[in-house]
Structure 1
């Protein structure tokens, strides 16, 4: 067994990095669908300046999330992936909160 964390023993990650990589891919797909639906809502309804600005900002935040997710997916492709940096975790959370705010603005 690996022993307690920090004991210096070798850790066998098993399939956990693969499951995490798949979770990042599913989250990215879900995020993309939500961003597309928000953009579609702007196009289908009366186009307002607020809606267009919210959709544009949502697209920028979506790109930022894709960047964070891609970096994490690539990092998980190593034999011994490192932990998610705090800045990347905070960036992902901020992107999701911003998308929710922009989606609410579009509705």
Structure 2
């Protein structure tokens, strides 16, 4: 057990491990979405818009993977730090970008 900011004793229990596993599941789901999006983007004749879209999708996925990997490593500590607002914003931006590309491909 470790003391919290208020001086109370906090038992983290399995919460950091569950959070690490949730990040891994989210990363896996993001990888599947990125692969399906790449497949759909490149399914056409390989025109420049499709290739550019595939490149952006790949970059967004790599950015998400980078943030998630950093968070998974941070959660391995005994008392992991809080998720930085900048990292949270990056994850939200990556998710929204993938959703926007999905909408663009459907329409």
- Give 1:6 deviation, angstroms: 4.2
Aligned-pair Cα RMSD in Å: 1.7
- Whether 1:27 aligns to 2:26 is yes
Distance 2:15 2:90 in 1: 22
Q: Could you tell me which residue of structure 2 aligns to residue 66 of structure 1?
A: 65
TM score, norm. by length of structure 1: 0.88
* 2-structure distance, mates of 1:60, 1:100: 14
SS in 2 for 1:13: coil
Aligned to 1:106: 105
1:52 aligns with 2:54: no
Counterpart residue number, 1:81: 80
Alpha-carbon shift at residue 52 of structure 1 (Å):
1.7
Match of 2:80, SS state, is coil
TM-score, scaled to structure 2: 0.88
Tell me, yes or no, if the aligned pair for 2:44 and 2:50 is still in contact at 8 Å: no
**Structure 1, gaps ≥5 residues long:** none
CA distance in 2, matches of 1:11, 1:55: 45
**Structure 2 unaligned blocks of 5 or more:** none
Q: Which of structures 1 and 2 has the larger relative contact order (alpha carbons within 8 angstroms, sep 6+)?
A: 1
Distance (Å, rounded) in 2 between the aligned partners of 1:57 and 1:102 = 9
SS in 1 for 2:10: coil
Q: How many residues align?
A: 104
